[in-house]
Chains A and B, each alone.
Chain A
Amino acid sequence: MKQYLVIGGGIAGIHCIEGIRSVDPDGQITLVCAEADSNYGRPLISYYLEGATDEGNMSYRGEDFYEKNGVSAIHGVSVTKLDPESKTAVLSDGQLLPYDTLCVATGSSPFVPPMAGLETVEQRFSFMTLADARALEQAVSEESRVLIIGGGLIGLKCAEGLYAHTRNITVVDLAPHVLSSILQPESAQIVEEHLREKGIELLLGDSAKEFQGSRAIMNSGAVVEFDLLVVAIGVRPNTALVKEAGGEVGRGIVTDARMQTSLPNIYAAGDCTESRNIVTDAQGVLAILPNASMQGRTAGINMAGGEATYDGGIPMNSMGILGLHIMTAGSYYDEESGGKTYFYETEGGYKKLFTKDGHLTGFILMGDLNRAGIYTAMIRERRPLDSLDFEAVFENPSLIPFGRAFRKQKLGGEV
């Protein structure tokens, strides 16, 4: 009987288990998860903090998932070393686990740069795990003054979660705008106005120079008094296991399309890996949940002797922030970088579509989000714009401009 080892109980790990079981119903699967919790959608932690979901509903595949899939799950223990020669993994509790095939689905960790006086802050948090969300929920009260370092996706979703508890929230970001990785200045400004209207204070183009207990002194000279500090500057892929075992690591763990690393019998999936961006053809970390699930399943199927490939992805996000919903996908090219942009005002917002070399490459939608997936599919499938009346689709997303033959295939039979 084959022995499988899955490291990490996030979305990639869970899909890896499902992938293995779709091929091999009998092999032994062991899951080692450093977190005390597993089998939950990580992006749900802000909804948990907000009170929009609870631990029962957060269970991604149900409480009986491990039992049903015959998985022996070890929590609160990490893997410290891989030995591809002897096909064993060393655990932090000293155990030695043998494997036939293994999947590294270790995700990423919060990146905390050195900041003067950070150690003097008593109530310091990251926002990455369910445990982090529980700790924040315990610590926050109506009177709490919260300082969040980082105005990206994690920082703002954390602010949204905390907003259900306190209205004293300040968000600091070094960039001149919030969500600088997914928005352009004009769309970011709409988000900023919205957040300020809600009473969230934003300090942009600024950073903390020094912490003194419950005071933060900013580079601009501003002083912020706070009770709770959340550091949400960014994350780094957890690549050390593969790197130290001699595997190829770039920005993330390098794999082939079957999700195998450069090491024999060792696969990797999820936020710890790098993959091909379909639009730019560049390798990079696409740390989003859909990629983790597709990569995890692909790895699992191949680990069990099946055949599956993952052909890359695109960055994309659907993000609600205190009642304002934004969707973004792909890459943005302006006129200077050889692109052409299409702009439309929509009900309650606008949409901006980016094209280059005859393809839709990306979009930003605020307000009307209906049927956004038609655009996402055009990007993913690299559909040539000259194959349809693309401006009609840009104006109003529907399958009409794709033509009758397309619809016959997509709507007229099993897909």
Chain B
Amino acid sequence: MKRVYVNEQWCLGCHLCEYNCAFANSGETDMAFALRGKTLYPKIRIEEDGKVCYAVSCRHCTDPLCVKSCISGALSIEDGAVCIDHEKCVGCLTCVLVCPYGAVAPGPDGAASKCELCLKNSCGAPACVEGCPNGAIVFEEREAVMT
């Protein structure tokens, strides 16, 4: 299955992915109107310490702890993608407690917020990938990395 991956060596730490994500999921048609002066809840997030930077979003794990731990059944796997039903989610945040990647966060409506690969918004394909100026974020099939 295709997932979002970040090539750490090419990430500039520009945070554009966060803006593109927040805009893609805002339901608005104008980026400035959607984001300006608002608290953003991007589903992809830059981690940086001055030396290293890269973006993290949901890994869409094959055996996701968040789905197993969800108390309401709001998190489920649809065609390999981990999706969230905002109507069912009560905001207990057990998914935030168990995600080993820190890729699920409390969202604006009290429900948990996570990457759904832009499958449910008007983009249809991940906006973070499309908007990455350095091509660091890709949407492709990969195998597990062996150690």
Contacts and interface: CB of A to CB of B under 8 A. Distances in A.
Chain A partners chain B: yes
Interface of A: 15, 41-44, 47, 52-53, 57-62, 289-290, 293-294, 297, 316-320, 325, 327, 329, 369-374, 376-377, 392, 397-400, 404-405, 407-415
Given A53-B88, A399-B102, A409 B62 contact: no
Interface in B37-70: 47-49, 52, 54, 56, 59, 61-62, 65, 68-70
B72 interface: yes
Nearest to B100: A377
B96 A369 contact: yes
A395 B49 CA distance: 13
Contact of B71 (A43, A52, A369, A404): A43
Of the four ranges (under 10, 10 to 19, 20 to 34, 35 or more), the interface on chain B belongs to 35 or more
Contacts of A294: 68
Contacts of A404: 8, 52
B3 interface: yes
Contact of A44 (B90, B99, B105, B144): B90
Q: Mostly helix, strand, loop or mixed at chain B's interface?
A: loop
Given A52-B91, A290-B94, A318-B94, 19 more contacts: A53-B88, A53-B90, A57-B87, A60-B73, A290-B65, A293-B69, A294-B68, A316-B98, A319-B92, A370-B96, A371-B102, A372-B96, A372-B102, A373-B97, A376-B97, A407-B54, A409-B145, A412-B5, A414-B143
Contacts of A58: 72
A199 B72 CA distance: 29
Contact of B143 (A42, A53, A413): A413
Contact of A41 (B68, B72, B104): B72
Interface in B82-135: 87-88, 90-102, 104-106
A276 B89 CA distance: 30
Contacts of B106: 369-370
A327 B92 CA distance: 10
B29 interface: no
Query: Which 7 interchain pairs have the tightest Cβ spacing?
Result: A371-B102, A377-B100, A413-B145, A373-B99, A290-B69, A60-B73, A318-B97
Contacts of A317: 97
14 contacts: A41-B72, A43-B71, A44-B72, A52-B90, A53-B88, A58-B72, A293-B69, A318-B93, A318-B94, A327-B97, A369-B106, A372-B102, A392-B49, A399-B56
Given A370-B105, A414-B3, A415-B59, A47 B90 contact: yes
Given A57-B88, A325-B93, A411-B5, A373 B71 contact: no
Given A44-B72, A397-B102, A415 B52 contact: no
A316 B87 CA distance: 25
A236 to B, nearest CB: 21
A235 B93 CA distance: 24
B142 interface: yes
B142 A374 contact: no
A414 B62 contact: yes
A327 B6 CA distance: 29
Contact of B102 (A319, A398, A408): A398
Contacts of A329: 97
Contact of A290 (B5, B68, B87): B68
A77 B110 CA distance: 38
Contacts of A316: 97-98
B100 to A, nearest CB: 4
Contact of B147 (A293, A372, A399, A405): A405
A413 B54 contact: no
A91 B97 CA distance: 39
Contacts of B48: 400
A374 B102 contact: yes
A415 to B, nearest CB: 5
B97 A415 contact: no
A57 B97 contact: no
A404 B6 CA distance: 13
A58 B73 CA distance: 8
A52 to B, nearest CB: 5
A415 B98 contact: no
A392 B68 CA distance: 29
Given A53-B90, A415-B62, A410 B101 contact: yes
